Structures are given as structure tokens and as C-alpha cells.
Chains A and B, each alone.
Chain A
Amino acid sequence: MAEMTSPMPSPRETVETARFWQAAREGTLLYGSCRVCGNCHYYPRLACPFCLSDAVDWLPSRGMGEIYSYSIVRRATPPYVTAWVRLQEGITLFTNIVDCDAGALAIGTNVKLVFALSTDGHAIPVFTPIGPSFTLGSHAGST
């Protein structure tokens, strides 16, 4: 488990999301994939947010991606990092970056999935940097 310097609030499980949290306890991040329209989505739900089909699979992510955007919340003590991370599967999700030198982060930083414990012991999917930055897509600007 990754270290967060202050405790993470716990999610409230529902009958719909219990399976997601069970998978997280087992070290897997699930995302939604629709068998009817073929679109993937996050956060995962049992009604496709593209076509409203209930033929939705929850698939495991390989957990590799890059930072799409981020912010260091400096108002908090200690500061922490919220981010949007784009996974190699094409899913972009809201998360935290942990175990990092926040000042060295950039859009495009390569990250991998780890799990952090919430206050009541839920495994929360978060990300941590792995090595030098790379860029998945083409961008007008640069870091």
C-alpha cells in the first residue's frame, strides 16, 4: 500500500459499487466497457453513460498511464496532489498522486497504479510516478 501523509476519507459503498471495491481490495482497478456501443467509461457504472445499455463489463486496467493535469493543494497541511491521469486504455480518471516529489511533477509524467488505505481500510486506487516523463498524445505546448 502507498503512503498518504494524511488519512483518505472512505467511500460509501453501494449495491452497485461493492464489486469495484472488492476488486480494489484484491489489487485491481476496474473501468466500464459497453458491449453495445463499445465505449469505455469511468467512474464505472452499470448503465453505459454513452448509450444507456446495461450490457456493461467492468474490465481490469493495467494501471499504467500519464498525468493529464494536476494541482498541488497547498492550502492543506501537509499538501497533497489531485490529478487527472490518462490510462493506456484511454480512460482518464480523477485521483491522487502519492509518494512523489510534487515539485517535480508535470503534465505527461509517467505514473503507475498503487493503492492507499482509507480511514476505514478501503483500498483506494492512486498513482505514483515511474521514471522519466513521456507523452502519449500530441500537444501544442510543452512542459
Chain B
Amino acid sequence: MPHYSHSYVVGIFEHPLRLAPDKSVAQLHAEVARGALADAGLAKSDIDGYFCAGDAPGIGPLSMVEYLGLNVQHVDSTDIGGSSPIRQVAAAARAIAAGKCNVALITTAGRPRAESAAPGALTENPDFPESGFELPYRPLLAASYAMCARRHMYDFGTTSEQLAWVKVAMSHHAQHNPNALLRNVVTTQDVLNSPLIADPLHKLDCCITTDGGGAIIVARKEISAELQRPRVRLRGAGEHIKYQRGSDVDLTSTAGVLSGQRAYAESGLSPADIKYLSTYDSFTITVLLAIEDLGFCAKGEGGRFVADGKLISGIGRLPVNTDGGGLCNNHPALRGGMTKVIEAVRQLRGEAHPAVQVKNCDLAIAHGTGGMLDRRHGCATIILERE
């Protein structure tokens, strides 16, 4: 068993900007690192481990370690898409338990909005082994998720209105977040009336594109004990990569089935124990599938589970993405994993906005689904506990 009790999440920071035309990507990484250090009450010289993913400019971690002037004895730039930072919280805890580092910094940052990058632009490399069999068909990220939604509707009777409830819940939360890009509360009818991007997904079923980012600091227990912040520890973690091989194609379940099972097994916990869920919301269907795959309801029942406000904090049975999520608040660098961890830590600390703070929030999940849902994607699940 991993010795997660050795380490704690001690610092978090979400960049307040959603549009950053006057800042470089490296500068944004530095700003979120500075913010997380201040939140933790640590100094740059305390950092001896650095974790980043493909949004960090340069070869792996090399350029950013230099830019930030870090003195590190452990690095990890494993990229499994937008869920990478969630995986890296667990990777940092394992590195600390193994004695490889003591204070780990994880950063995500980018400026796709300032650069007018189309969502999904990350996927267009003609030298990937599958590219010859995909790029001619002009794959669009929204269509990738749309085909999963269509099949879910066909197999289980899920409706566009049920999907719209995911966006409605995020918008109810975002109205309380002064930094959220979209703070207006929307109705299911607003979602259904928005233009179709890729049937059956509408514009308001799709996440926003924002600049900025965030950072997390994970520290060894002895160090965290000296800090003045509420203590949040990792209870369990899981990751999985799912793909299609032609003869076993399945569009209605995700890698989250196994990443979730592994996290529950490590922690000895079950969905019934979880008070709050931060889950990747690149599209509304991403949330519905994650809720099923993490065991909050049976496969096929996600539509009914998310409908009628059941994801709204204070009203519903499972509060989800109380910051407004990627659908309304922030989806920096086209990657939603970082903000999922940050809001989960806020909830566990009792530092979420009072209007969305979950009562007695002692156990939370941060879950990510990154990549192209219909073809290949990576999921990471972590279960965090307030001590």
C-alpha cells in the first residue's frame, strides 16, 4: 500500500485571470507557483520536487525548472492529458513517501484564449501512430464527446435536457464566484436553445476556454505540521488509460471505472462516504459518465441522477464543481484537472464560498477525464480527507 499518510496538500492557488494577453505562459506558471507558496506559508527554497505536464513550455520540466530557478531532486512531467495534475498529487505523495522529495510543486498554466486556440488543437499531431486513421476525418473534440453522448442516449434513454442540468448546476455555483468567466445562471432551456456545435451537444454543453492556471503544493507530514493551514491528506488514488481496439469498442464508459475502483480500494472508502465531487467537465456528458463510472449511480442512470438540480450544493444529493467548473468558471490551458483539485481542497478546508460550502465536508473526490473520450483518454481519481 502507498504510504499516503506521509504527505499533505498544504498549498493551493487558482490564478484570478481568465484572459491574459499581457503575460507569457512561463510567467503564468511562476505566478501560480508564487500564489501556492504564499497560501502554504512556504518559500521557493523549500521546493525540492517539481511536477508539470504538456502545458509547461520546454522539454518536460527542464525549461520551467530553469525559469523558476528551482533546486529539485525529483521531477515528473508525465502527461495523461487534462487529468495530469490530479494524477500528480498522488505521484507527489508517492515520491515523498519514497524519500525522493519533501515539498512538491505542481503547476498548470496557459493562455489559449489570448492565442485564440481552438479547443482540441492539442490533438492534431500527424506523427502520432493513429493520426493517419483519424485526421482525414477532421475529428473535433466536441464531436468526440458528442458521439459518446449519442450512444448513451441510444442505449439508456438519456436526454439533452438531462445533460443540460449539468450546466445549470455549474452556473448556479458560478454566480457566487467573482472570478468565474460566466456568472449568469442559465436554465435547461438556455442550454437547449444554444447553437448545436456537434449533435447532440450544444454550445452550452461545452466548457469555456480560459487563460491562467493554478498550482498545488504537497508536503511531507512533518513540514505540514508546522504550517498554519487546515490539513488535507490523500486517502487513495487511481489512474487508468482507456482506448479502443476496433473489436471491443465501447463509448459509454470511461477509464474512470478503473481509476475510481483503484482509489476506493486504496482508501477503503465507497461512494457513500464522499461529501463533495470535483469532476472534469469538459462537456456535460463528461460529468454524467464520471458520476456513473465512480459508482454514484448505476451505468445508464446518470441522466436521472444529474437532473432537477441534484448536483447543486445545498439542494442536490451530490454537490459537484462548486466553483462553477470548466463549464462556467475556469478551464485554463484547455486542461481542467488543476481546478478540480483546488476546489476540492477549498471544500475540505471550509474555504469554499459560503453559498456553496458543503456542510461537514470531510471527504472529497477530485476526478479527471482528459483526452478524446471516444478514442483514447486518461482518468485520474484522488480521494482527499480533511484531518
Stretch at the interface among B44-52, B79-87, B123-131: B123-131
- With known contacts A14-B132, A43-B246, A75-B197, A141–B153 Cβ distance under 8 A: yes
Min CB distance B181 to A, Å, is 20
Interface string of B342-361 (1 = CB under 8 A from A): 00000000000000000000
Q: Are B246 and A107 in contact (CB under 8 A)?
A: no
Min CB distance A114 to B, Å, is 14
Number of A-B contacts (CB under 8 A): 140
In chain A, residues 58-108, which have Cβ atoms closer than 8 Å to a Cβ of chain B? 68-76, 80, 82-84, 86, 90-96, 107
Q: Is B244 an interface residue (CB 8 A)?
A: yes
Q: Are A72 and B198 in contact (CB under 8 A)?
A: yes
Inter-chain contacts of B196 with A (CB < 8 A): 72, 74
Min CB distance B371 to A, Å, is 14
**CB < 8 Å neighbour of B143 from A45, A50, A82:** A82
Q: How large is the interface on B (under 10, 10 to 19, 20 to 34, 35 or more residues)?
A: 35 or more
In the complex, A114 Cα to B195 Cα: how many Å?
31
Q: Is B147 an interface residue (CB 8 A)?
A: yes
Inter-chain contacts of B130 with A (CB < 8 A): 43
Q: Are B133 and A69 in contact (CB under 8 A)?
A: no
Inter-chain contacts of A39 with B (CB < 8 A): 245, 247
Interface string of A13-28 (1 = CB under 8 A from B): 1101100110000000
In the complex, A109 Cα to B134 Cα: how many Å?
21
In the complex, A118 Cα to B131 Cα: how many Å?
14
In the complex, A68 Cα to B139 Cα: how many Å?
16
**CB < 8 Å neighbour of B195 from A10, A74, A96:** A74
Q: Are B131 and A122 in contact (CB under 8 A)?
A: no
Q: Is B22 an interface residue (CB 8 A)?
A: no
In the complex, A95 Cα to B249 Cα: how many Å?
14
In the complex, A41 Cα to B246 Cα: how many Å?
5
Residue of B nearest to A126 (CB): B137
In the complex, A94 Cα to B153 Cα: how many Å?
19
**CB < 8 Å neighbour of A12 from B127, B139, B195, B249:** B127
In the complex, A86 Cα to B116 Cα: how many Å?
36
Q: Are B138 and A141 in contact (CB under 8 A)?
A: no
Stretch at the interface among B154-162, B258-266, B271-279: B154-162
Q: Are A71 and B136 in contact (CB under 8 A)?
A: no
Inter-chain contacts of A75 with B (CB < 8 A): 140, 142, 197-198
**CB < 8 Å neighbour of B136 from A76, A107, A118:** A118
Min CB distance A117 to B, Å, is 10
Give residues in B with beta carbon < 8 Å to A.
126-127, 129-140, 142-143, 146-148, 150-151, 153-157, 195-201, 244-247, 249, 251, 300, 374-375
What are 15 A-B pairs with beta-carbon distances under 8 A?
A9-B138, A17-B132, A40-B247, A43-B130, A43-B133, A68-B249, A69-B374, A71-B142, A71-B147, A75-B198, A84-B249, A90-B247, A92-B246, A94-B137, A118-B136
Additional 18 contacts, C-beta under 8 A, given A70-B150, A72-B196:
A16-B129, A43-B129, A43-B130, A69-B147, A71-B147, A73-B140, A73-B142, A73-B143, A75-B140, A76-B140, A82-B140, A82-B147, A84-B147, A90-B247, A94-B134, A94-B374, A122-B136, A140-B157
